[in-house]
Amino acid sequence: MRGKLQPYNYVIVKGKKLYFGYTTGASAAAAAKGAALMLKKQVKITEVSMKLYSGHKLTVPLDDIVLEKDRVSCAVVKDGGDDPDITTGLKIYAVVSFKDKPGISLRGGKGVGIVLEPGLQLKIGEPAINPVPRKMIREAVKGIFPEDIGLTVEISVPGGKEVAKRTLNPRLGIKDGISILGTTGVVVPMSEAAFKDSIVLELKKLKNENKEEVVLVPGNYGKEMAMSKFAIPHNDIIEMSNYVGYVLEHAVDLGFRDILIVGHLGKLIKVAGGIFNTHSRVADGRNEIMAGIAAYHGVSQSVILDIFKAKTTEKMVDDLYKIVRKDIFPWIAERVVQRIKEYLRKEENEVNIEVLLYTFHQGVIGTSKGFDNLLSYFISS
């Protein structure tokens, strides 16, 4: 039985309904909530509801319930909706049990990957449960018991080790399982063309409000950075996903003349190398581009080799921070601006484009020269 999302659960693409799904993170949080409720009530329940960060209410059935006095286990079947998601159909299990010390401890069980290399948002040796799902799981369990009661939540995914071989996890240094992911809790299915069209519609809507400025971000994290750090209104921010060139062309064609780009270096380093569709299966080259830039700036061969071998952009940045070469990142931001203007074939004064780069480990690592001036215009307007 499929879970329910309210108040809406589909989009229409070319006249066809495509149904939403829910992420591994939402599935894990729902299973944890169901197990915690049963542990407290000592009664089996068949479904559980929770509020997702997307604003949806998710109601899912609970499977494989094992109810004991000090321990409850149950599962939620991951459903990606009409999105081609290889984790659809996996059972995401949560075991909630008592522990002596107050607070909630989170563990990864069988089928949840283990982080083995630096550079991710998680420490080496930790289960591959991303920060937002961790928060979702804790919030789902918190409040069911008094604060002085200690609980352990273990998430496991039978079959996760096999499925993970078809993901990026082995390349990222995550072993033996999938990652528990998702920032909103909802999986929205769209074809590439439909997704691009939806972004252009957002640009047009903003332009209809007589705006000549826009903030472009690759995804949710860039949006949160722009809103929380700079207090930029969310209506002025548009997610361009991997379609950097496509979105920039349409933004300029629609008449936007002031464009701020706020993004993780992992995406924008590709733009510095002239890549304008940043999907990893279309084009990557992060290591090669960063290694080339490091060599251009006179970094030692040993560090360049470390950068070339790094599994993540975070690790590359950390390597450069260790040798105190923070000066490279503002240069990269300027390079991104230059590449964009070359791509758009625009003269210096035709459009104002400024860039901010950040990583999860180091925060803001570099901005282009005119970023602060253009930012002040956004904030004041």
Question: For the chain, which domains are there?
Answer: 4-187 (3.30.2110.10), 192-380 (no CATH)
Determine the Cα–Cα distance for residues 39 and 301; give it in Å rounded to an integer. 57
pLDDT tens-place string over residues 8-44: 998 887 778 889 999 999 999 999 999 999 999 999 9
3-class secondary-structure state, position 89: coil
Average pLDDT, the chain: 93
**Taking residues 42-70, what's their average pLDDT?**
97
**pTM score:** 0.78
Q: Give 68's pLDDT tier (boundaries 50, 70, 90).
A: very high
Average pLDDT over residues 223-249: 92
pLDDT (average), residues 131-145: 95
* Exposure string for 200-209, b = 16+ CB within 10 A, e = fewer: bebbeebeee
- The 3-state DSSP class for residue 119 equals coil
**343, pLDDT greater than 90:** yes
Per-residue model confidence (pLDDT) at position 212 = 87
In angstroms, rounded to a whole number, what is the distance separating the alpha carbons of residues 158 and 127?
A: 15
Residue 378 pLDDT > 90, yes or no? no
Q: What is the pLDDT of residues 154-194, one digit of tens each?
A: 999 999 999 999 888 888 889 999 999 999 999 988 778 87
Helix or strand or coil: residue 111? strand
pLDDT bucket at 345, cuts 50 / 70 / 90: confident
Share of the chain above pLDDT 70, in %: 98
pLDDT at 195: 82
**Cα–Cα distance for residue pair 309/259, rounded to 1 Å:** 34
